[in-house]
Amino acid sequence: MLVRQLVTLSPSFVRVNSAKRLAKSFERFFAVLRMTCFQSAGRPVCFISAFLLWYNVSAETMTGETFDPILATRALHNLGDGLTLVDTERRVVFWNTFAETLLRVSASMALGQPIDAIIQRIAAQTTAPNTTRAQLIAALAEPNPERWIEMECVSPEATRIVAARCFPLQSEEGVNIGSGILWRDVTRERTADAMKSQLLSTVSHELRTPLASIKGFATTLLRQDVKWDETAQRDFLRIIEEEADRLTEIIDNLLDMSQIEAGALRIVKEPTALRPLIRSVVDEMRMRTEAHYIVVDWPGERPRVLIDPRRIRQVLTNLIGNAIKYSPRGQITVACEVEPEVVIVSVSDQGEGIPPQYLDKIFERFFQVDGKTTRRVGGIGLGLSIARSIIEAHDGRIWAESTPGQGSTFRFTLPRVRDESNEHEVGNE
Ligand code: ADP
């Protein structure tokens, strides 16, 4: 298996070499490895041979081509995982390039050193040094390829989750010649797992709240023993309608996110007059709040932009909706600046604002500054990440500015239409 992988890794690996052409069988392959091992006094090569054995290289899996042990060593260096091989005296005899980057320990520092000292060094970079050290040393004492040990490695650049598993190394005759450790970066998998759990808990909470409301008011309306006057009935029905809209919004957001992830977000751009579009979104949003007044700060010019109007409407609705959600009252300003190539649209509020360290993070999926507030006002942390994908699909940029305690401003750019039909469209506004 690994041999096949190595072949794929390096086409020159199967270089035709008449002297080595004989090494077509499994036995001969290892004969070459052993020979090189003695010739170069390179213990690592001997270990590599055993490592290949451990990977169940068998005569059936051999491709029959010629293998070059030097290239095999290179291939092991370039494995997508870190690899450490240790001899029977517990000294490090092989430390691949990926292990250097992943564990921030150079080969020159590790080679020839007792593995316990190197483990100590690695454990010191983790969030639980004593546990990690004890687990790794115990795993090396009884190598079990089935058992993964996970550790959180912290560096100034990033925090990574590294999984390690130890395996025994045996010679062809079954004699113990050391052990190995495979180090794997599982940060992405763990982040995805955490995101999945967060998604499930947020979404189920956000779905349950409007559903409970809909069920409660519908049950109330259906009660036979109480007669509700017309105003009360209309109030209940209005709440049911609003909560149903909230459910639809959550589901739409989830569907949009899955489309974005699949790279299937459909954007149909057409030259559009921006002013009527903004005006219609603002009119709609005014109906959603009595505590805010929404003003539009419009320049003298009436630019047309090349956009998917439905999607830009969605972005504006989200930004104004957030301005309403995250400011208890006050003015919300929708403004427009016209530049030669782009139009910059902004939405400002006088709300609680956003701490500077979160100004970028709020555009990430599921990120919410303060779980308590968002739980109160509703939301699953997807609106801004969808807005960013939509704006980027328009070759635009979206960003946030804020003074905590005083309010926030979200801005995005849209490409202008610059052709002679401009005049005609303006006339249509
Ligand atoms: P949601 O509102 O559903 O949580 P968003 O992606 O729209 O998701 O927003 C992400 C987070 O950014 C919000 O949870 C909130 O913490 C913060 N945020 C967004 N808009 C504002 C705003 N106008 N003022 C303060 N915080 C905001």
CB 29 less than 6 A from any atom of ligand 1:
no
Percent of the chain topping pLDDT 70: 80
Mean per-residue pLDDT of the chain: 82
Task: Dump pLDDT digits (tens) for 302-312.
Answer: 889 999 999 99
pLDDT of res. 39? 34
Q: Give the other-Cβ count within 10 Å of 415's Cβ.
A: 15
Nearest-atom number in ligand 1 for the CA of 410 is 23
Nearest one of 93, 90, 105, 165 to 135, comparing CA atoms: 165
pLDDT of res. 13? 32
Q: How far is the CA of 243 from the centre of ligand 1 (A)?
A: 19
Which two structure tokens, joined as six digits, stand for 361? 């993070």
Q: Check whether 76 has a pLDDT greater than 50.
A: yes
Q: What is the mean pLDDT of residues 403-418?
A: 93
Q: How far is the CA of 324 from the centre of ligand 1 (A)?
A: 10
Task: Dump pLDDT digits (tens) for 218-227.
Answer: 999 998 888 8
Considering the domain 2-185 in this protein, what is its CATH number? 3.30.450.20
Q: What is the mean pLDDT of residues 148-171?
A: 92
Q: What is the mean pLDDT of residues 186-207?
A: 86
Nearest-atom number in ligand 1 for the CA of 378 is 3
Q: Of all protein residues, whose CA lies closest to atom 14 belonging to ligand 1?
A: 368
Which residues in the chain are classed under CATH 3.30.450.20?
A: 2-185
Q: How far apart are the first and last CA of the chain?
A: 67
Q: How far is the CA of 187 from the centre of ligand 1 (A)?
A: 26
pLDDT of res. 334? 97
Which residues in the chain are classed under CATH 1.10.287.130?
A: 192-264
Q: How far is the CA of 322 from the centre of ligand 1 (A)?
A: 6
CB 308 less than 6 A from any atom of ligand 1:
no
Question: What is the rounded CA–CA span in Å between residue 348 and residue 330?
Answer: 11
Which residues in the chain are classed under CATH 3.30.565.10?
A: 265-429
pLDDT-derived band at 198 (thresholds 50, 70, 90) equals confident
Backbone φ, ψ for residue 272 (5° rounding): -135, 140
Please name the residue that has the structure tokens 């293998």: 67
Helix (H) or strand (E) holding 155: none
pTM of the model: 0.64
Task: Dump pLDDT digits (tens) for 16-33.
Answer: 333 333 334 334 444 444
**By the 8 A CB rule, do 207 and 253 touch?**
no
CB 354 less than 6 A from any atom of ligand 1:
yes
Q: Which of 125-129, 364-368, 391-395 has the lowest mean pLDDT?
A: 364-368
Considering the domain 192-264 in this protein, what is its CATH number? 1.10.287.130
The amino acid sitting at 7 is V
Q: How far is the CA of 424 from the centre of ligand 1 (A)?
A: 38
- Class assignment of domain 265-429? alpha beta
Q: How far is the CA of 258 from the centre of ligand 1 (A)?
A: 20
Task: Dump pLDDT digits (tens) for 86-106.
Answer: 999 999 999 999 999 999 999
